[in-house]
Structure 1
Amino acid sequence: MASSTVRFDSVKYLPRLAEFMSQEIERHLKEVEDLRTLSASHFEILTFLLRKEKTNMSLIAKAIHRKKSTVTVLVNKLEDLGLIRKYSSDEDKRETNLELTERGRAVRVVAKRISSSIMSLKLWGLNPKESEQLFYLLEKTYTYLRDTKKL
């Protein structure tokens, strides 16, 4: 059984890894003229929309684990940059739907390059089996904490 010191040492790496990922994404974004002012959270929204085409603010908030008010601020910037379009849902006028503009869809090439770089096992120093183990353990921990309302 792992000692409390080992558990503490393991947990302290989580925010450091998240910070590293954000910095790495933002480093790549700064290399692209039109995307220099975007954050890793903006990138999450763009890549979500690249996969889903059209969606609403609530689904994005859930997918990227942010409050709807935070997503609103992020989305407003993406709209100001002409990357996404907001419109009212036909089913529920209170709900705001989103879709990528043509300019937003053009980000696909850059997004794939950034995602490939970030998700590269070489960057992480893991072999495929270790990568699967890491994903399994992180997902298990997150799901447990979420389902027991500790998140």
Structure 2
Amino acid sequence: NPLSEITHKRRVSALGPGGLTRERAGFEVRDVHPTHYGRVCPIETPEGPNIGLINSLSVFARTNEYGFLETPYRRVIDGKVTNEIDYLSAIEEGRYVIAQANAELDEDGVLTGDLVTCREKGETIMATPDRVQYMDVATGQVVSVAASLIPFLEHDDANRAL
């Protein structure tokens, strides 16, 4: 099964040497965290004692040379979205104002409207287009390969998606 194979190859575990044990991991460790955005899928995790400790990488996530998870963003210069892609770690991401992938653009790739929904330091904000420094590459970059195959995921009951 190709889907099963790719899912198993993109697993990330907090267990093992230097990691956590199932017994000692509390709720705060197992919960979804804002730094997981675009790096770890908030939906795909096993049920039972491993919940939140074994996760799947998001669609575009990768590890850098230091072992940190990174996710891609399109660079925005003076309100114009470029085709330059930068991979940012969660630490680097906290320094920037990042627009959602579904932000409205004109035919030249310039952000339109007075305010754009963005993320800054893990919080959702409304920012003027000139403040935006990066933009998500795709609306589906938050979820894993398997979760991205669920049709109309955004309209699905959260418990059913899980």
TM-score range normalised by the length of the shorter chain? under 0.3
Please, what TM-score do these two structures have when normalized by structure 2?
Answer: 0.24
Q: Which has the higher helix share?
A: 1
Higher RCO, 1 or 2 (CA under 8 Å, sep at least 6)?
Answer: 2
Bigger strand share = 2
